[in-house]
Amino acid sequence: MIKLRRLERRYSLGKEKFFYVLRDINLDIAEGEFVSVMGPSGAGKSTLLHILGMHDHGWQGEYSLNDTAIHHLKPKERATLRNEQIGFVFQQYHLLDDLTVYENLEIPLSYRHYSKSERAALVADTLDRFQIVGKKDLYPRQLSGGQQQLVGVARAIIAEPKLLLADEPTGNLHSSQGEEIMELFRKLNDEGMTIVQVTHSDKSASYGKRVIQLRDGWIVNE
Amino acid sequence: MLKDIRFSLRQLIKQPAFTIIAVLTVALAIGATTAVLSLVNGLLVRPLPYPDSQRLVLLLQHFKSQNLERIPVSPPEFKDYETRSHSFEKLGAFGYTSFNLAAEDRPERIAGATVTSGVLPLLGVSPIKGRFFAPEECMLGRDDVVIISARLWQHRFDSDPQIIGRKLLLNGKSFTVVGVMPANFDFPLQLFNLGSGGQFGGRAEIWKPLAFTDDQMKARYNRSFWIVGRLAPGISAAQAQAEIETINAQMRREHTDNYSQDNSFGGDVFLLQNLAAAGMRPALLILLGAVFLVVLIACANLTTMLLARAAAREREIAIRVALGAGRLRLLKQVFTESVLLSLIGGAAGVLLALWGVELLKTIGAQTVPRLREVNLDLVVLGVTLAICVGTGIIFGLAPGLASSRPELTEALKEGSRGSTVGKRRNRLRNGLVIAEVALALVLLSGAGLLIKSFARLQNVNPGFNPRNALTFEISLPKMQYPDDSSIVRFNDEARRRIAALPGVQAAGFSTILPLAGTNSDSSFAIEGRASDKNTPSPDEELREVSPDYFRALGTPLIKGRFFTAGDKADAPPVIIINQAFAKKFWPNEDALGKRIVMGGMSDNPKWITIVGIVGDMRHFGLDIDPKPEMYVPFAQSAYSTAIYVVRSNQDAQVLLAAIRREIQAIDPAVPLANVRSFENLIADSVAPRRLSVVLLGVFAGVAVLLAGVGIYGVMSFLVVQRTHELGVRMALGAQRGDVLKLVLIRSLKLISAGTIIGLIIAVMSTHTLRAMLYSVSAFDVVTFVLVTVLLGGIALAASFLPAMRATRADPMVVLTAE
């Protein structure tokens, strides 16, 4: 599903000097895999995730997603592909403060040209699936951290992406809430969703089927 | 305090872009306000330039049944008022005139007035040299004395210390100078705009005694003098009015031949100050309202700017509070800064106003009464200072309160966002933008209506062709041209010579020009129509014109013929009327060939035959429908002053030197006066209206500019504030177009709310403009739609830049920032 070849991410330090965040990344992730990317702070984990999520365009090398050569796509084409295939979960949840749970779930659909009735049906299904129907009219500040992340995951998968990217999804949660989210991830993976998560937690990583270790921008161990 | 000022100055210098925009905003608002305050002060508030001018009145007459209002009085009527009234300390009569002042190089035409001996003393201004007229000098044969203005004394006589007693050759006759009035003395004021003064009448520089002839003293119908008076101490204008009505009733009883016995005839006492202000009062009050709106918009703008700054400095202020700063101390700091901004902007605004007032004077000094007296005096500066301090406090209020109540825990927490206080302030900001758009729309609607009205007025067909037409006056002195035949001979010869000049298509003259502010009328009777003493004779406008006058004006002949050289004094009397006249008096008949007699019917009437019907002309103003007019041949009713119209196939101004040569060839002592193009004449006739249009247009422009800056500022602030949200949305799949739409829709909501409120206020308030509108409804839908689209477009454009900036939000930067 994902194929990275000689992928690099660097920042210029002036006069042909560069600071490398990612170096010579060669990576294959098959459909249905649950991969955990680990490593110390500054290793390049989040950068790798944002490159996979096509938020970051300043990289060199080759990146193919389901046989589409991303490196040949224009930003707008990448955005379209991202909307079709990728969902994102953040450590800070990044729910929109002024929108209710219902409205937060609706956002990704509104950017994917679903009709109003389709949106209503999908949001209702998702609320039901995640058992948060009773919270649909609440605002994020009225939810606990775990509940907010639950909404965050629900929002990431509502448009039925093939690939779910999660940046330290349990980083801000206490252990029981974290376990709940990871169980949810496992369930999604069992249903066929490919998941790539960045985590510091061995326990969270253990929910995955494969661990990639990054250090100073290099893949050091798989 | 000094410390606060120093700190505020440092803050302002630290953010030059903010300071420049804020100062410019205040400068525009204060500049507009100061300019209008100067106008209001100069034209409405400031007393006329005579001591105790509140007691000065003008006494005019009316004949309501003939639609004649504010007309002058006859000499016997003046004497009746003067001898019988007790409400006045003094009454005096005056008339407009002009003099040909002989000089070695070229004769000069000087505007002047004839005054009875009481006029100048009652005004309360003494001569700087010499004396007033003695009563006996207002008698025929002893009236060969003049008083001149210091302006004339300085520029024509080089401030000759021996001026008193010096002889001047005026209209070919010798006069002795007995006094010099101060340089700033002005009488009659342009504001009177009555009779033969009008727009052609410059400032009077020579005053001559008014001595009535025996014939004049018998003719109650010959109304050509104006009465000025000073109310007696303790007497009000209403009391004087009551007394005048009593005297009028006496006159009606005593002279039954001259006055109808209904209430048609009467006299009106006008306070001079009110009469002076009357013309411009509605326009000035509207302009005052307009600048008030501009100031409100500026305040709204500055409030939003300062609120944004307060938000940016929230942490700094929270730290100050945490360190022990009191609320009052913080408020003082914010107010110091806002008032300082206001004062700096105000100073720049006063400079703008100084320039603006000078500009206005050049636009309208010749045509707007008292405009040349307008200046920025201490009163205006004092009010401006108060407004500056007031606006500084107003726009500092919300940011001051916001700063003095910081949410400590929120503000001190790193990366905090989305507090309730923030939402409250956003609501305030949104409210201010809505208010700005609404106020700007109100101003723009008003300006739009006035501009449309003015454009319609400019396109009105005046009934003549003003292009390539030159006009000037020739006034013949009585000594050299004592009778009608000599006057007609001179003017016939002048017209013949001018018409023969290369490039001249037609040349003619008249006693009165359309749109020049002068007028004359006459009553008449129609052959075959019964009249009795109790029914007033019809009275319509009357002009004396030469052959080719209509050709020179470009006024079409509808029927019959124009006057010819054959219509001489001894030829059968003939008359030309306009279409309005024909329609009014012969609605279903052919007027051609009908006969009328001037004045009332007599036993031996001198019938005048209608030989032509010409197109209607707008005489009183482009906005006033043509009235019935009569034209008689100049040769059959000559006057010493003729106003020429010369039409050429090129710019008529280039003919001026040749025309002057031809006139001097006939009589070197006769000057050309009031030379101007007909286009200028028309422009001057709409000058007060143009002044209002220009001012309201400028204010509306300033309002739209400020509203645009305000919207830009608020949307920019909003985008910065929502960077995180926009980043998240982009991470969740929003494309640039989605973000652009999001910001623009937010902006559109504010603009729409402002527009709806503005339209409601505009519809409710534009009726105040009704008196200033011509051929445009105060609820003109097209104008409302156009100004709404214009303002909406500008407001959206102002939102577009911040919206574009929003689309550049990098989700990665936003999402990894925490």
Q: Could you say which DSSP state residue A156 is in?
A: H
Distance from the B725 Cα atom to the nearest Cα atom in chain A, whole angstroms: 6
Chain A contact present for B738, CB below 8 A: yes
For A90, which of B734, B810, B815 is closest by C-beta distance? B815
Number of separate domains in chain A: 1
B500 neighbors B567 (Cβ within 8 angstroms): no
Angle at B749 between CA B745 and CA B752, to 5 degrees: 125
pLDDT for position A195: 95
pLDDT for position B125: 93
Q: Across chain A, what does the average pLDDT equal? A: 90
The reply to whether residue B734 touches residue A111, judged by beta carbons under 8 angstroms, is yes
Report pLDDT digits (tens) over B747-804.
899 999 999 999 999 988 888 888 788 888 988 999 999 999 999 998 888 888 888 8
Is residue A12 one of the residues assigned to a domain?
A: no
Give the tokens for residue B348: 């720049």
Beta strands B68-71 and B56-63, pairing class: antiparallel
Is residue A13 one of the residues assigned to a domain?
A: no
Is residue A87 one of the residues assigned to a domain?
A: yes
Distance CA B31, CA B357 (A): 10
- 10 Å CB burial of residue B649 (0-12, 13-18, 19+) is exposed
Chain B contact present for A94, CB below 8 A: yes
User: Where does B85-169 have alpha helices with state H?
Assistant: 119-123, 150-157
pLDDT for position B412: 46
Distance CA B57, CA B719 (A): 64
Angle at B718 between CA B716 and CA B720, to 5 degrees: 70
Chain A residue numbers touching B732 (CB-CB < 8 A):
88, 107-108, 111, 155
Chain B residue numbers touching A46 (CB-CB < 8 A):
816
Judge whether residue A55 has pLDDT over 70: yes
CATH number at residue A91: 3.40.50.300
Chain B contact present for A211, CB below 8 A: no
- Residues whose CB falls within 8 Å of the CB of residue A191, separated by 6 or more in sequence, listed in order: none
Question: Per-residue pLDDT averaged across A131-150, rounded?
Answer: 90
pLDDT for position B367: 66
Spans of chain B, pLDDT less than 70 = 104-106, 190-201, 315, 318-325, 364-367, 369, 404-425, 531-535, 814, 816-818
Chain A residue numbers touching B734 (CB-CB < 8 A):
107, 111
pLDDT for position B195: 41
Is residue A191 one of the residues assigned to a domain?
A: yes
Is the bond preceding residue B188 a cis peptide, omega within 30 degrees?
yes
Give the chain B residue nearest A153 (alpha carbons).
B732
